[in-house]
A = this chain, B = another copy of it.
Amino acid sequence: MPDRILRAMDMPTQDHRGPGFAALGLRALEGIKTIFKCAGPVIIYPSSGTGAWEAALVNALSPGDKCVMVETGHFASLWANLAKKFDLVPEVIETDWRRGADANLLEDRLRRDAGHEIKAVCVVHNETSTGCTSQIAEIRKAIDAASHPALLMVDTISGLASADFRFDEWGVDVAISGSQKGLMLPPGLSFNAVSEKAIGASEASTTAKSYWAWGEMIAANKTGYFPYTPGTNMLYGLVEAIHMLHEEGLDNVFARHRRHGEATRRAVRTWGLEVQCEVAEEYSPVLTAVRVPDGHNADELRSVILKNFDMSLGNGLSKVQGKLFRIGHLGDFNDLMLAATLSGIEMGLDLAEVPHQSGGVACALDYLKSTAGKTEHAAAAE
């Protein structure tokens, strides 16, 4: 997390009903639209991302509504479980957790839903548990090709502000995000970007709600205020984060993360290990999940690395537990942080006696060196 953001938050809390608050509120509310790339409202909740998942479902849908949810990994599966708690009827399309959502399968499923019983298609943009992204523009095309009226709901909690996201252009109806990933803030704010169609659906929703209700938020936000106490100090940080992202340029931010993803994969391949994501177009720019060879335990490797080098890597969640570890390269991350990360892993592989070829770090450095200062070019060449 950048110190600039922490410093921006390190200020007295101002009165959220006071006359000076509106300017802050409007800066945050307008600014976040430039990150989602939408013209319509983005609702900002004082909550973590799990709350924004719930918000999307309880506003746009009603008990008994069917929705198609693609289980691209652990987080997609948690979202489907959450839907059941509100008496929604999720139809889960499974994957092998090594790719994003399959637009063709979705199109086929929607074509067979002649009665339009399916009210929403729910997809995770960047699946944090696997390092696979879903191609949201393709999902939109599939829905349109099937001439299906279902809402397109996208969880971009770990994608937003790290991977390109285009709410309006891609025809997303509800996008869910959180503060603690690409926005480089502490956890505590979450977001629902909403389309006119989604707002229309929310007006017909019969699900009981109050804290998450879009209507009161949208009404109060028009003047820069909130219907209940907002996360004021987090809003200070959000305004600073948006400023930083535009200073660097969103395209440069995305290219930086893609380039770090490529450098990471080059190291992984040199080690002779496998990247969890099998589809090149769906490699996550946010993180890379790496499989350890059969007969070895990724958690033992992680523990050796933590013990020796004080670096905590992400673990494999639920059905990939012990099978993979995750290398994050999101947010405020630069070449030398990546060099350090990969160095810790290469030494750890050796100490934990995981069979591998050395030279991964050297290979990644070669790539970083040859593309240094050429962020945009390197990204275009991928």
A interface, CB within 8 angstroms of B: 1, 6-7, 9-13, 15-19, 45-51, 54, 63, 82, 85-87, 178, 180, 186-188, 207-211, 213, 228-234, 306, 312, 315
Q: Told that A48-B229, A82-B210 touch, could you supply 17 new A-B pairs with CB distance under 8 A?
A: A6-B10, A6-B12, A7-B10, A10-B10, A17-B315, A18-B312, A46-B187, A48-B228, A49-B229, A50-B210, A85-B209, A87-B208, A180-B229, A186-B234, A187-B229, A187-B231, A188-B233
Cα-based distance from A312 to B63 in the complex (angstroms)? 45
Q: Which of B15, B82, B87, B210 contacts A86 (CB 8 A)?
A: B210
What would 30 A/B residue contacts be, using CB atoms closer than 8 Å? A1-B12, A1-B13, A6-B12, A7-B10, A16-B187, A17-B315, A18-B312, A19-B312, A45-B47, A46-B51, A47-B51, A48-B228, A48-B229, A48-B230, A50-B210, A50-B211, A50-B229, A51-B211, A85-B208, A85-B210, A85-B213, A86-B208, A87-B208, A186-B232, A186-B233, A187-B232, A187-B233, A188-B233, A207-B208, A208-B208
Specify which chain B residues have a CB less than 8 angstroms from the CB of A85 in the assembled complex: 208-210, 213
Q: Which of B9, B188, B228 contacts A50 (CB 8 A)?
A: B228
A57 to chain B, nearest CB (A): 9
A230 to chain B, nearest CB (A): 7
Whether the pair B10, A9 counts as a contact (CB closer than 8 A) is yes
State the oligomeric state as a number of copies.
2
A265 to chain B, nearest CB (A): 23
Specify which chain B residues have a CB less than 8 angstroms from the CB of A12 in the assembled complex: 1, 6
The 10 A-B pairs of least Cβ separation, nearest first, read: A50-B228, A186-B233, A48-B229, A188-B231, A187-B229, A10-B10, A85-B210, A18-B312, A13-B186, A46-B48
Whether the pair B86, A180 counts as a contact (CB closer than 8 A) is no
A329 to chain B, nearest CB (A): 15
Cα-based distance from A347 to B76 in the complex (angstroms)? 60
Whether the pair A47, B86 counts as a contact (CB closer than 8 A) is no
Closest to A84 in B: B210
Whether the pair A19, B306 counts as a contact (CB closer than 8 A) is yes
Quick one: given A46-B187, A312-B18, are A210 and B10 in contact (CB under 8 Å)? no
Cα-based distance from A112 to B87 in the complex (angstroms)? 37
Cα-based distance from A210 to B210 in the complex (angstroms)? 14
Specify which chain B residues have a CB less than 8 angstroms from the CB of A230 in the assembled complex: 48, 187
Quick one: given A1-B12, A19-B306, are A178 and B50 in contact (CB under 8 Å)? no
Cα-based distance from A49 to B226 in the complex (angstroms)? 13
Q: Which of B9, B211, B213 contacts A9 (CB 8 A)?
A: B9
Specify which chain B residues have a CB less than 8 angstroms from the CB of A46 in the assembled complex: 46-48, 51, 187-188
Specify which chain B residues have a CB less than 8 angstroms from the CB of A54 in the assembled complex: 210-211
A194 to chain B, nearest CB (A): 18
Closest to A81 in B: B210
Cα-based distance from A7 to B11 in the complex (angstroms)? 10
Cα-based distance from A233 to B187 in the complex (angstroms)? 8
Closest to A185 in B: B13
Specify which chain B residues have a CB less than 8 angstroms from the CB of A210 in the assembled complex: 50, 54, 82, 85-86
Specify which chain B residues have a CB less than 8 angstroms from the CB of A186 in the assembled complex: 13, 231-234
Specify which chain B residues have a CB less than 8 angstroms from the CB of A7 in the assembled complex: 10
Whether the pair B229, A178 counts as a contact (CB closer than 8 A) is yes
